[in-house]
Structure 1
Amino acid sequence: MNIGQVLEQLRGDFPGITIPKIRFLEDKGLIKPERTPAGYRKFSSDDVDRLRYVLRMQRDHYLPLKVIGEHLDAIDRGLEPPPIEGVVPTVPQVALAADGMPSPASFARTSDVRLSRMELLKIAEVSDELLTQLEQFGLIAPRTGTRHYDTDALVVAQTARELADFGFEPRHLRAFKTAADREVGLVEQVVAPLERGRDAGARGRAADAVSEIAALSVRLHATLVKTGLQRR
């Protein structure tokens, strides 16, 4: 769509919208329409939805453009924008199996969520000191090649914070990391022959096996811990 067509789409809900207003929002970096070789703007349906979001946040909630820009940045990174009265984005709910233990699907699931360090600290409700110690003991690390953290880092940080209430320090949690590394090694040994298969489906079968074995190993580990504690 050209800018005139976009104007017609928006005018019904936002009678005060003008072409200069759309250009102004583009100058502020809130929308980024494509440009033709001749320099004309070309808007996609996603651009129009983005404009609707900006205009609605301005009209209905009186949010400044800087805050709206932070909302859009969160959306672009796979997060959900914060509620209007909130201060940080929220992370999509992590799904668990019915018995409360991770399912094979949860191990196969990938997440595009990217959290800054400040967002991780706020959402997990941990101190910078605790996060630094968790990183020093190898329990948390940014995603490879980036400065952002994923939902696994969030779960580890939240769990560490809850364990801290019982006197666990990051140095104590290193034992959990060591045990997990051993389990990872066992899984890799079992799956290695599948990955070496030469047919087209070998990699897919190996990935499915990893998810299944990982879920079973966590179930076994959790049940053994539960059984051991019940014998006390």
Structure 2
Amino acid sequence: MTVADAHGHDEAERWPFGVPRTPTMSIGSALSVLQQEFPAVTISKIRFLEDQDIVCPHRTPSGYRTYSQADIERLRFALAAQRDSYLPWAKIRERLDELDNGSAGVPAPGARVVTEDGELSATVTRSRLTAAQLAEAAGAEEALVVELTEVGVIGTDAGSKYPAGTVEVVRAVLELAEHGVQARHLRALRSAADRQIDLVEAIVAPVRSHRSGPGSAGSRARAHSLATDVADSFARLHSALLRTGVDRIV
């Protein structure tokens, strides 16, 4: 199945627009670029994302995968969405389709893969949003972003910017608002999430301080992978508990 068959339009029309599509990188080179921002990513993970229709690399006559800068950007988007928002792959594909179609309100990652003097490099700063940018990306009023911040549901970093994953939080708040749920009602959810994060941190701590040395690239990668897996388990447990509770009340 071709990219045009899968997505209803040609590869040249897919997001990111205006980014070079000439395949110049082997899968190993692509891995090296991505690992600057996502230390835990592996060649197997890149191939998995291809299986998920996130990216469709070029194949040489010998069958080897080669990647363009546009391919790297799509991979970055998917990896950041899974890392920051714990989105399922179907939802990530949906977001990419929105980007492909030029839909408004869908935030693009801030970092770009660039070529300087023929050498590949990549910025490693995660995308951060101002209150106005967050409101626009989520389709909300800026006043709601301010209110959610004031009640502690969302928060900024030291630079007064919001993580890109906060967009999904605000979108979920908007959906709940349609049922009369107000920002102040969500403090308990924020507190519960913080307690789960504390548990994740306690589970990950021994891995992070493994004998390979605290802060080493290997220990960070293993800790990140473990933290992601544990967080996914918490998310599934939370969903299961909610579904079980709904079954009792209806």
Deviations for 1:177-204, whole angstroms, at most 9, x for unmatched residues?
0110111111111221222212163332
**Contact residue 124 and residue 157 of structure 1 kept, 8 A:** yes
1:206 aligns to 2:223 (yes or no): yes
Show structure 2 runs of 5+ residues with no match: 1-75, 78-95, 110-123
**Contact residue 191 and residue 210 of structure 1 kept, 8 A:** yes
What is the aligned counterpart of 1:129 among 133, 136, 143? Answer: 143
Letter in 2 for 1:149: Y
**Contact residue 160 and residue 170 of structure 1 kept, 8 A:** yes
**Contact residue 130 and residue 160 of structure 2 kept, 8 A:** yes
Please report how far the alpha carbon of residue 166 of structure 1 lies from its aligned counterpart in structure 2 after TM superposition. Answer: 0.6
Higher strand share: 2
What is the aligned counterpart of 2:181 among 168, 171, 176? Answer: 168
Q: Given the two structures, how large is their TM-score scaled by the length of structure 1?
A: 0.50
Q: Distance in 1 between matches of 2:143 and 2:108?
A: 26
Aligned partner of residue 129 in structure 2, secondary structure? coil
Q: Percent identity?
A: 32
Matches within 5 A, 1:139-158: 139-142=153-156, 144-158=157-171
Count of residues in Structure 1 that have an aligned counterpart in Structure 2: 136
Q: Distance in 1 between matches of 2:195 and 2:183?
A: 19
1:226 aligns to 2:243 (yes or no): yes
Deviation beyond 4 Å, 4+ runs, structure 1: 86-89
2:107 aligned residue: 91
**Contact residue 131 and residue 146 of structure 2 kept, 8 A:** no
| CA 1:177–1:117: 2 relative to 1, 3 Å | same
**Contact residue 139 and residue 174 of structure 1 kept, 8 A:** yes
Q: Distance in 1 between matches of 2:172 and 2:103?
A: 22
Show structure 1 runs of 5+ residues with no match: 1-77, 94-109
Matches within 5 A, 1:24-35: none
Q: Distance in 1 between matches of 2:130 and 2:146?
A: 14
> Which is higher, the Rg of structure 1 or of structure 2?
1
Q: Given the two structures, how large is their TM-score scaled by the length of structure 2?
A: 0.47
Letter in 2 for 1:91: P
Aligned Cα RMSD in Å?
A: 3.2
